Amino acid sequence: MDVLLGVIAFVVVLLVAVTLVKTVRIVPQQRNDIVQRLGRYNRTLDPGLHLLVPFMDKVYQRVNMREAVQSFPPQPVITSDNLVVSIDTVLYYRVVDSVRAVYEIVDYLQAIEQLTVTTLRNVIGSMDLEKALTSRDEINQHLSAVLDETTGRWGIKVTRVEIKAIEPPPSIRDSMEKQMRAERDRRAAILNAEGVKQAQILTADGDRQGAILRAQGEREARILQAEGQAKAIQTVFNAVHAADPDPKVLAYQYLQALPQIAAGQANKVWIIPAEMTKALEGIGASLSGLLPGATGVAAPVDVDAAPREAIDEALAAARSAAEESEEATGLPRLAGAPASAESLLGESAKQIEQAARDQQPEH
C-alpha cells in the first residue's frame, strides 16, 4: 500500500512539473514565438514572461527579429556578349512580421535566394562584361528594389544586397590582363615621351636664353670697351694737341717705342722700318740744334765748342734702346743693312759732326 501511494505521489509531482513547464514561457529579447492552440494560430509571444494553456497551446516556431546576413553560393550568369560569369551575392535582411514570415511562405531564405538568382540573370543578361564589371552600384540598387517589393508580403525587409565578386572565365581574365598591361605600357610610353619632349623644350629654351644673355653681355662689354678706348684716344688726342709737340719729340718717342714692339715672344722677324732713318735724322737735327747759334740751318761753329755732353747722352740713350731691341728679338743682323740701330745712330752722329766741320770756316 505504501509503495502504491509512493508511485501515485511521484506521478502527481511529475505531472505538476510538466504542467508548469508547459504553462510558463519566457521569451528573450529580439525574438517572437508563434503559439498555436489545437493546430491553429493563437497569438505571438513578445519578449517577456507568458503563461500558456498546458496541453493545448504549443510554441510552433521561434522567429529571430534581428537583422541577419545570408551569403549565397556563386551563381553562373550569361552576359549580353555571351560570356559566362560567376557572381557571389550577400543579402542583409530582417523579419518585420513574424506571422507572415511563418505562414505566408514555407522557406523564405530559399525563396530569397532563387529570387536573387533570377533577378541577377535578368539584369546581367542586358549588360556586356565590361559594363557588368563597372556597374555594381546599379545592379545592387536594382536587386534591392525587386527583392524589397517581393519579400514585403512575406514580412521580410531586405535592407541591402551586395555583389561580393564577379568572376569571368580564366581565358577572359588572361585577355583582360594583357589588355590592361598593354594599356598601361601605352600610357607609360606616352608619359615618357611627353616628359622627354618637355625636357628638350626646356633645355632648348634655357640654351636660347643663355645664348641671348651671353650675346647681350658681350655686346655691352664691347660697347663699354669701345667707349673706354674712344675716351682714352680722345684724352690722348686732346693732351697731344694741348702740348703742341714738335716732330723732334715725336721722333724720339718713336725710337723709344721700338724695343717694346720687338719684345714679344711670338716675334720671329724684326723689320726695321724705313721711317727709322728719318727718325734718326730728326734726332740728329735736334742734336745739331743744340749747337751754339743754331737756327733752321746749321751755323758754322767750332765742333769742339759744341756741347759734347748732350750729344753723348743722346747717343747713349739711342745705343741702349738699340741693344734692348736686339736682345728682345734675338735675331741675327740683316745682311746688306746696318749692323744694328747703334750703327745707324753712329752714322747719324758722324753725319752731324761732318756737317758741322764742313760748315766751319777754314783758317
* Residue 163 pLDDT greater than 70, yes or no: yes
Q: What sign results for the dihedral spanned by CA atoms 225, 230, 233, 234?
A: negative
Please, what's the largest Cα pairwise distance for the chain? 212
CB 144 within 8 A of CB 91: no
CA distances (Å), 3 to each of 6, 7, 10, in order? Answer: 5, 6, 11
Q: Is the pLDDT of residue 190 over 60?
A: yes
| Residue linked to cell 694741348 | 242
β pairing state of 48-51 and 24-27: antiparallel
Out of 98-112, 231-245, 338-352, give the one with best mean pLDDT: 98-112
| Interstrand relation of 40-45 and 68-78 (parallel, antiparallel or unpaired) | unpaired
3-class secondary structure, 49:
strand
Mean pLDDT of all residues belonging to the chain: 75
Among the ranges 102-106, 175-179, 331-335, which has the highest mean pLDDT value? 102-106
* Among 161, 169, 179, residue whose Cα is nearest residue 129: 169
Sequence-distant (≥ 6) Cβ neighbours of residue 351 within 8 angstroms = 284
What is the C-alpha to C-alpha distance for residues 139 and 131, in angstroms, rounded to an integer?
10
For domain 68-168, the CATH class is alpha beta
pTM for this structure? Answer: 0.46
Residue 189 has pLDDT above 90, yes or no: yes
Phi then psi dihedrals of residue 332, to 5 deg: -70, 160
Q: What percent of the chain has pLDDT over 70?
A: 66
Tell me which DSSP letter residue 166 carries. E
Terminal Cα-to-Cα distance of the chain (whole angstroms): 212
pLDDT attached to residue 215: 93
pLDDT of the residue at 319: 59
pLDDT at 260: 67
Residue 323's pLDDT is what? 59
Is residue 281 within 8 A of residue 348, CB to CB? The reply is yes
Q: Which residues contact 172 (CB under 8 A, 6 or more apart)?
A: 83, 129
C-beta atoms surrounding 154 within 10 Å: 19
State residue 56's pLDDT score: 86
**Angle (CA) 323 279 260, round 5°:** 40
Cell of 134: 563597372
Are the beta carbons of 118 and 142 closer than 8 angstroms? no
Task: At 181, list the grid cell.
Answer: 598591361
> Is residue 31 a contact partner of residue 59, using CB atoms and an 8 Å limit?
no
3-state secondary structure string across 53-111: CCCCEEEEEEEECCCEEEEEEEEEEECCCCCEEEEEEEEEEEECCHHHHHHCCCCHHHH
Strand, helix or coil at 209? Answer: helix
Using alpha carbons, select from 158, 176, 179, 156 the residue that is nearest to residue 167. 176
pLDDT digits (tens, 9 = 90+) for 33-84: 999 988 888 889 889 888 888 888 888 889 988 999 988 888 888 888 888 8
Pseudo-torsion of CA 316, 318, 323, 326, nearest 10°?
-170
- What cell was used for 183? 594599356
Structural domain boundaries in the chain: 2-64, 68-168, 191-244, 247-358
